[in-house]
Amino acid sequence: MGRGHLAPGGLAPEDILRLEDDRVVFLDQRLLPEHEVELACHSAAEVAEAIRTLAVRGAPSIGIAAAYGYALAAAQGEDLAAAAEVLAASRPTAVNLTWALEQLREGGDDLAGRARALHREEVDRCVRMAEHALSLFEPGARALTHCNAGGLATGGYGSAVGALRRAWEQELVRHVWVGETRPLLQGSRLTAWELERIGIPHAVIADSAAASLMARGEVDCVVTGADRIAANGDTANKIGTYSLAVNARHHGIPLYVVAPSSTVDLHTPSGEAIPIEERAGAELTERFPALNPAFDVTPAELIAAIVTEQGVHREPYAESLAGARRGERARTA
Ligand code: MRU
């Protein structure tokens, strides 16, 4: 660990990922919560490998990592077109990856400065989303979240977890159910670790326990992040989110998606067109044939609200989400 053991509380953005003169440094998320170890990457290809192997993960963090990888490539004198290509190919579903590369390619010469600014802006979006999301919680709510949409996934603060944190500070949320998130356990390894560090009461549940908890009246809302939100509001997120959405609708429980506008993809009209990453079957079983889609799509009609830094968006989503991408405030609140 380059900077010593991490202090309790929310994670500092530079402890999650940062650009140094000749390297990009990540807190290696594959080793958490047991080990707090940093991974240093010295080329765009190494950053792409860190993204592909989930050393850094979560849609906004993937975008920030790609921006840092591109800026590093420029500093090292690498071929920038090749660097962009290898970074863009590292994971297919989170649109933040291509969004961040576009941001860097379209701007001026100070790539390192712009990549660091993009990181700061993404964290700032999370803080603003959390403030908007307060209006969604009844005092004392018990929320269920899936995967990890915390500081680790967003370069700091968190999208879904940031909203839960702010609501907990205001005594609007009193308990968080954490879906373990098979097969790579982002919930039980990463979200539980983050909640413990902040001090938010929580309990890990098997993914398959969610419906029965809902039936017993122990879940007041479901709050998740997103990897790509299509123009119509259909949302790709970690596999299992769709199942939660169907179960939540059956039990009359709202499902909220909290994600920055960098996750909204206006070029993808609906969920059908979102590329879904398929990962190695060995993540599920070493012995038998396996199918391992990493994400699923929740149709917009099952989402009670989408929160971006521009406010709370309600159905029909198309106009409101397009406005968010243009930097316009959401009309509903
Ligand atoms: O495969 P991962 O761990 O990168 O998947 C991450 C998720 O599905 C998150 O919920 C999503 O990126 C939102 S992160 C703010």
Distances (CA, A) of 118 to 17, 112, 114, 218: 13, 10, 6, 39
Nearest-atom number in ligand 1 for the CA of 57 is 4
Pocket test for ligand 1, best of 148, 184, 279, 296 (most atoms within 8 A of CB): 148
CB of 186 closer than 6 A to ligand 1?
yes
| Low-confidence spans in the chain with pLDDT less than 50 | 333
Residue 166 has which token pair? 């702010």
Ligand 1: distance of its center to the CA of 65 in Å? 14
CB of 159 closer than 6 A to ligand 1?
yes
Domain parsing of the chain, residue ranges: 13-125, 129-332
Q: Which residue has the tokens 């005594």?
A: 171
Q: Between vectors from CA 229 to CA 27 and to CA 158, what angle results, nearest 5°?
A: 35
Ligand 1: distance of its center to the CA of 225 in Å? 7
Nearest-atom number in ligand 1 for the CA of 158 is 15
What CA–CA distance (Å, rounded) separates 282 from 289?
9
Question: Cβ–Cβ contacts within 10 Å for residue 169, how many?
Answer: 13
CB of 225 closer than 6 A to ligand 1?
yes
Size of the chain in residues = 333
- Catalytic residues, which ones? 227
Pocket test for ligand 1, best of 29, 227, 242, 279 (most atoms within 8 A of CB): 227
Secondary structure in 3-state letters for 173-191: EEEEEEECCCCCCHHHHHH
Nearest-atom number in ligand 1 for the CA of 91 is 4
CB of 59 closer than 6 A to ligand 1?
yes
What is the residue with the minimal CA distance to atom 8 of ligand 1?
238
13-125: in CATH 1.20.120.420: yes
CB of 279 closer than 6 A to ligand 1?
no
Nearest-atom number in ligand 1 for the CA of 295 is 8
Sheet bearing 17-19, strands edge to edge: 17-19, 24-27, 38-41
What backbone phi and psi angles, to 5 degrees, belong to 141? -70, 150
For CA atoms 58, 237, 87, 186, give the dihedral sign: positive
Residue 4 has which token pair? 């010593």
Q: Is the pTM of this model over 0.95?
A: yes
Q: Domain spanning 129-332: which superfamily?
A: Translation initiation factor eif-2b; domain 2 (3.40.50.10470)
Say if residue 151 is exposed, middle or buried (CB neighbours under 10 Å; 0-12, 13-18, 19+). Answer: buried
Residue 14 has which token pair? 């530079």
Sheet bearing 305-308, strands edge to edge: 202-205, 173-179, 141-145, 221-224, 255-258, 305-308, 311-313
Whole-number pLDDT of residue 333: 47
